[in-house]
Amino acid sequence: MSENPSNALPSKPRSAASIQSWSGEYDVIVVGFGVAGGAAAIEARRAGASVLILEQQTRGGGATANSEGTIYFGGGTRVQKANGFEDSLQNMHDHVKAAAGPTADPEKVRLYCENSLGHFDFFLSCGIEFKDTYYEEKVIFPPTDDCLIYSGNEQAWPFVEEAKPVPRGHKPMKEGSAGTYLMESLIETFEKEGGEIRNEAKVKTLVRDDADGRVVGVIATIDGENLALRAKGGVILTTGGFVMNKEMLARFAPHLLRCKYPIGSDGCDGSGIRMGMGAGGNAINMHEGLMTTPYFPPNTHISGLLVDARGSRFVNEDCYHGRVTDAILTKADGQAFLIVDDALYDEEKQFVPYPMAAVEETLGELEASLGIPTGELVHTVEAYNAAAATTGEDPTFHKASKWVTPLDNPPYAALDLSVDNSIWAAFTLGGLDTKPTGEVLSVDGEVIPGLFAAGRASAGLTRSGRHYASGMSIGGGSFFGRMAGRTAAGAPPVGE
Amino acid sequence: MSENPSNALPSKPRSAASIQSWSGEYDVIVVGFGVAGGAAAIEARRAGASVLILEQQTRGGGATANSEGTIYFGGGTRVQKANGFEDSLQNMHDHVKAAAGPTADPEKVRLYCENSLGHFDFFLSCGIEFKDTYYEEKVIFPPTDDCLIYSGNEQAWPFVEEAKPVPRGHKPMKEGSAGTYLMESLIETFEKEGGEIRNEAKVKTLVRDDADGRVVGVIATIDGENLALRAKGGVILTTGGFVMNKEMLARFAPHLLRCKYPIGSDGCDGSGIRMGMGAGGNAINMHEGLMTTPYFPPNTHISGLLVDARGSRFVNEDCYHGRVTDAILTKADGQAFLIVDDALYDEEKQFVPYPMAAVEETLGELEASLGIPTGELVHTVEAYNAAAATTGEDPTFHKASKWVTPLDNPPYAALDLSVDNSIWAAFTLGGLDTKPTGEVLSVDGEVIPGLFAAGRASAGLTRSGRHYASGMSIGGGSFFGRMAGRTAAGAPPVGE
């Protein structure tokens, strides 16, 4: 991550006329072996294409391998049914539409939901197993090999008014993080089915035919050599987002620079977005990202109260952690405390440690220690407690009643969840504008022939951190990766 | 405003090779006669260029003529000094840097401030007069012919911590709205100095030399004929923003569609931005806009309390109206009430009428009528009143003490300032990426030869409605219009 403004600029393609000889020729070349690249490559291969994946790291995996591996499926999967959850495609669509955010592509949302059961089967076909179990505790991901969780805002107000709550986060059957298992399964599947992989192969340049603007290949640096590799059907950019590229963050999404921990892999350097832009692709939604500060587990923390520097609540604490974090930045100006009492605080079970801003015997002392205006925190907690004790409801922010209990076991503590003091992590949600087929669009809305993108290199299924659910990146990236793979291979889209 | 998605797409230029004969030839052609176009044209003319302005309406004026005409000057203008206000370029810079927003161009901010006194003189040189008076009441603009006002957030927390508060809004000497006077003065000046104007001349197409990509002219529809007009030094796009183009709003800034009243002129249709994009110009900051719901005058309303649907305050009421409106949308989710008592409410002096959501003898009855959770509005007002009565301060949002008085004169009323129920107006703050010289930049950061933009057709001085001050659009548009005019005419930049 050097500090060079040109790192935020498009990378220009090389003219095909300048290529003296090609070092290899394939139907489809996939750049980057995360979940989107793997899904694209496997589908293209299954459609009969010769497929090469170029991965800049020593082995495929990408951001997905570093993740817990949750995938967002619904509409009545085997796992949902086994655990007694009734979902429907319409119900799933109602939630995903909200979760994708206000700038989402309605066609991508529709296709993703309509093909969800088949998309689950795709993972099964790659040897990935899912246990028929539901993990009830509210977690970032199950520490066990259990599968199904509520991974987003399904149960949280106001989303609960849009669709019937059903869990849709499906973690592959592996204890704890399942991202590596997921990716190793895709690597094995692709190799077994005759795909070719080159690791430590860095692609910095597309090759374009000057006459018709078609992308016809790439220049890849392999073993110190720059090789020209031809792609007859298309090049698919699945290089991830740009959270590791400080210059791109500064140019496009400066607020994400405040989050000190990038979520992704070293490959999330924006190289594919820059190459796509250089070939005339339009980068959209570039100012959006997901931010998170994971204040649960323990579950008891959800029964705490999130307050701003004025002692007021600003969001229901049972939202998805990304939505809460967005609210801390936009509604609370980046400064927030989680107020817990002795019954709720659980240092042992903390997913990540937060600085303890203050511990006091009374709420009045606590607000004084925190610099909150006199009486404000006392009022917030007392009003909440009164409603909790009498009705068991949260009339102000509609936190689900299961989390609503009075805070009345001193001492009281304030965990500091502020952006500048705590663990805040982020990834980007902007990228190349694509059709649902993965074809990259120019700023004029025209297809750039031969060029495809999927995953976080594209503006995909989900466009807003405020609405996001875990599993939508891997879910959307793999689904539209499959669409791109099939289209580049000349096969009809998924589901047709 | 038809409903055609192509209205949001770039307009492609025509090839110069296809032009059989030019109907006219100028050094500089300016497209659009608002304040940016007028300033550009006058500077180009004064630099010795032959200059044509093409205006699509029956007469020049643009969004500026429909505005009150406030211009943001500082650093010790004649009017500031006459009224005893000590400003400095550094102090002005400290505020403008904050007011331009987090994505502003630091070089544009610096140049704007450093040349502010000279920019004031430019308006004087165009025959525009400013009265040496200060209008103390907090208003959108003085209803009199007085000049100087606090037109932004200078006196409001937290801006008050960044720079010493000084008023910098300068309204030309005209009772009430001075925008037409300002623009008529520019029209008269330009004509007197030998400039040529064609009204009812619609430009939909740039003309570009295919060989070097240089913009060399325009196609203008005049009296039903399409005329090719050549510009040897450059074409300057000063066509305004895109608030009148619903398709562009939907594509780039969908939240602004919630504001029912566009601020601008019929010409703010994004045509220049689309032409610039078609010639390879990069449109940036396109998701930003200024939104306003003008809840003052009367000044007494600033002493009221803005609360959200939960009865909590979320912003200091003495901010600039645009900042408050942004807070209503982003912090209060679009729903807010202004709570006033009988001493503060003044129907007669209301700048715009708001629906009265409820009037009650007690705060408890008022919160019940508004559907606010029991006790929350009562607490908010009582806590505010207690601090007002004892310290005269607002410990929660730091509203300036001059506005802080207890609300204790029943009946109490709630004015509905919600986005769906009230007068919300907006304009756009995104446009073509330009150098301070007005030269339009491509997505690669390269100058597009022969193409300039200024005013709201560009991403100019000010980039954020949350930070904005009145006078920065006319101020920035005219200043960087002048820069563009000089550069297109081959003269050195303003101030050099």
Mean pLDDT over A330-356 rounds to 93
Query: Can you list the pairs that B344-351 forms with residues at least 24 positions away whose Cβ atoms lie under 8 Å?
Result: B344/B300, B344/B301, B344/B303, B344/B304, B344/B407, B344/B409, B345/B300, B345/B301, B345/B413, B346/B298, B346/B300, B346/B301, B349/B297, B349/B298, B350/B297, B350/B298, B351/B139, B351/B140, B351/B294, B351/B296, B351/B297
pLDDT of residue B173: 98
**For A376, nearest residue in chain B (alpha carbons):** B383
Q: Give the rounded percent of residues in chain B with a pLDDT score beyond 90.
A: 95
Amino acid (1-letter code) at residue B216: V
Helices and strands (H and E) in chain A: how many: 13, 21
Is there a contact between B9 and A445 if contact means CB atoms under 8 Å apart? yes
Is there a contact between B254 and A375 if contact means CB atoms under 8 Å apart? no
Interatomic CA distance for residues B307 and B297, integer angstroms: 18
- In this predicted structure, the answer to whether residue A1 has a pLDDT above a threshold of 60 is no
pLDDT of residue B3: 65
Give me Rg for the CA atoms of chain A. Answer: 24
Residue-wise pLDDT tens digits, A265-299: 999 999 999 999 999 999 999 999 999 999 988 99
**For B309, nearest residue in chain A (alpha carbons):** A396
- In this predicted structure, the answer to whether residue A139 has a pLDDT above a threshold of 90 is no
Size of chain B in residues: 496
From the list A312, A330, A379, the residue facing B330 with the nearest CB is A330
Pairing of strands A51-54, A24-31: parallel
Chain A residues whose beta carbon lies within 8 Å of the beta carbon of residue B396: 310, 373, 376
Query: Which of A251, A273, A306, A331 to mutate to test binding with chain B, by most B CBs within 10 Å of its CB?
Result: A331
Structure tokens at B222: 């005049």
From the list A10, A254, A397, the residue facing B443 with the nearest CB is A10
pLDDT of residue B347: 83
Query: Which of B316, B429, B444 to mutate to test binding with chain A, by most A CBs within 10 Å of its CB?
Result: B444
Interatomic CA distance for residues A419 and A336, integer angstroms: 8
Encode A124-148: b = buried (16+ Cβ within 10 Å), e = exposed.
Answer: eebebebbebbbeebbbbbeebbbb
Chain B residues whose beta carbon lies within 8 Å of the beta carbon of residue A444: 9-10, 12, 278
Q: Are B92 and B120 in contact (CB under 8 A)?
A: no
Nearest to B152 by CA among B161, B134, B165: B165
**For B393, nearest residue in chain A (alpha carbons):** A373
Q: Are B204 and B222 in contact (CB under 8 A)?
A: no
Report the Cα A119 to chain-centroid distance in Å. 17
Annotate A10-56 with DSSP letters as a single string: PPPPEEGGG-S--SEEEEEEEE--SHHHHHHHHHHHHTT--EEEE-S
Residue-wise pLDDT tens digits, A36-93: 999 999 999 999 999 999 999 999 999 999 999 999 999 999 999 999 999 999 999 9
Pairing of strands A169-170, A148-149: antiparallel
A479: which residues sit within 8 A by CB, 6+ positions away? A39, A111, A112, A115, A119, A461, A494
* B403–chain A nearest CA distance, Å: 19
Chain A residues whose beta carbon lies within 8 Å of the beta carbon of residue B444: 9-10, 12, 278
Q: Are A178 and A69 in contact (CB under 8 A)?
A: yes
**For B9, nearest residue in chain A (alpha carbons):** A444
Mean pLDDT of chain B: 96
Chain A residues whose beta carbon lies within 8 Å of the beta carbon of residue B383: 373, 375-376, 379
Residue with tokens 């030019």: B22
From the list B10, B310, B395, the residue facing A373 with the nearest CB is B395
From the list B330, B383, B445, the residue facing A375 with the nearest CB is B383
Give the residue ranges of DSSP H helices in A101-245.
Answer: 106-114, 116-125, 179-192
Chain B residues whose beta carbon lies within 8 Å of the beta carbon of residue A312: 312
Mean pLDDT over B340-352 rounds to 89
Nearest to B290 by CA among B448, B434, B119, B461: B461
Helices and strands (H and E) in chain B: how many: 13, 21
**For A10, nearest residue in chain B (alpha carbons):** B444
Question: Is cis: bond before A297, omega within 30 of 0?
Answer: yes
Is there a contact between A396 and B373 if contact means CB atoms under 8 Å apart? yes
Q: Are A239 and A38 in contact (CB under 8 A)?
A: no
Residue-wise pLDDT tens digits, A408-429: 999 999 999 999 999 999 999 9
Is there a contact between A9 and B312 if contact means CB atoms under 8 Å apart? no
Is there a contact between A374 and B397 if contact means CB atoms under 8 Å apart? no
pLDDT of residue A406: 97
Nearest to A454 by CA among A477, A420, A431: A477
Interatomic CA distance for residues A403 and A300, integer angstroms: 8
Interatomic CA distance for residues A448 and B332, integer angstroms: 42
* A9–chain B nearest CA distance, Å: 6
Chain B residues whose beta carbon lies within 8 Å of the beta carbon of residue A314: 331
* A310–chain B nearest CA distance, Å: 6
Is there a contact between A444 and B331 if contact means CB atoms under 8 Å apart? no
From the list A287, A379, A387, the residue facing B379 with the nearest CB is A379
Distances (CA, A) of A212 to A136, A279, B385: 55, 12, 71
Give the residue ranges of DSSP H helices in A331-424.
Answer: 363-370, 376-390
Pairing of strands B336-341, B201-208: unpaired
**For A277, nearest residue in chain B (alpha carbons):** B443
C-alpha distance across the termini of chain B, in Å = 43
- In this predicted structure, the answer to whether residue B31 has a pLDDT above a threshold of 90 is yes
* B282–chain A nearest CA distance, Å: 9
* pTM of this structure: 0.95
Is there a contact between B396 and A373 if contact means CB atoms under 8 Å apart? yes
Interatomic CA distance for residues B437 and B321, integer angstroms: 31
- In this predicted structure, the answer to whether residue B2 has a pLDDT above a threshold of 60 is no
* A398–chain B nearest CA distance, Å: 11
- In this predicted structure, the answer to whether residue A301 has a pLDDT above a threshold of 60 is yes
Chain B residues whose beta carbon lies within 8 Å of the beta carbon of residue A102: 254-255
Is there a contact between B373 and A379 if contact means CB atoms under 8 Å apart? no
Sheet containing B71-72, strands listed edge to edge, beginning at the edge strand earlier in sequence? B71-72, B169-170, B148-149
Mean pLDDT of chain A: 96
Q: Angle B472-488/B106-114 helices, nearest 10 degrees?
A: 90
Is there a contact between B383 and A397 if contact means CB atoms under 8 Å apart? no
Q: Give the rounded percent of residues in chain A with a pLDDT score beyond 70.
A: 99
Does ipTM exceed 0.90? yes
A327: left (phi over 0), alpha (psi -120 to 50) or beta: alpha
Is there a contact between B310 and A396 if contact means CB atoms under 8 Å apart? yes
pLDDT of residue A3: 65
Interatomic CA distance for residues B6 and A246, integer angstroms: 34
Is there a contact between B445 and A9 if contact means CB atoms under 8 Å apart? yes
C-alpha distance across the termini of chain A, in Å = 43
Residue-wise pLDDT tens digits, B186-207: 999 999 999 999 999 999 999 9
Residues of chain A with a CB closer than 8 angstroms to some CB in chain B = 9-10, 12, 102-103, 254-255, 277-278, 287, 310, 312, 314, 330-331, 373-376, 379, 383, 387, 395-397, 443-445
- Hey, CA dihedral for A293, A297, A301, A302, is it positive or negative? positive
Query: Which of A286, A310, A398 to mutate to test binding with chain B, by most B CBs within 10 Å of its CB?
Result: A310
Distances (CA, A) of B454 to A479, B40, B220: 43, 8, 19
**For B314, nearest residue in chain A (alpha carbons):** A331
User: Across the A/B interface, how many CB contacts are shorter than 8 Å?
Assistant: 52
Question: Is cis: bond before B493, omega within 30 of 0?
Answer: no
- In this predicted structure, the answer to whether residue A22 has a pLDDT above a threshold of 60 is yes
Interatomic CA distance for residues B410 and A167, integer angstroms: 50
Chain B residues whose beta carbon lies within 8 Å of the beta carbon of residue A284: none
Chain A residues whose beta carbon lies within 8 Å of the beta carbon of residue B379: 379, 383
Is there a contact between A103 and B254 if contact means CB atoms under 8 Å apart? yes
Burial of A490 (C-beta count, 10 Å sphere; 0-12/13-18/19+): middle
Report the Cα A247 to chain-centroid distance in Å. 21
Q: Are B316 and B462 in contact (CB under 8 A)?
A: no
Annotate B443-475 with DSSP letters as a single string: TTS-EEEEEEE-GGGB--S---TTT--TTHHHH
B375: left (phi over 0), alpha (psi -120 to 50) or beta: left
Domains and CATH numbers, chain B: 1-290+429-496 (3.50.50.60), 294-416 (3.90.700.10)
* A11–chain B nearest CA distance, Å: 8
Mean pLDDT over B459-482 rounds to 96
Encode A190-212: b = buried (16+ Cβ within 10 Å), e = exposed.
Answer: beeeebbbbeebbbebbbbbeee
**For B255, nearest residue in chain A (alpha carbons):** A102
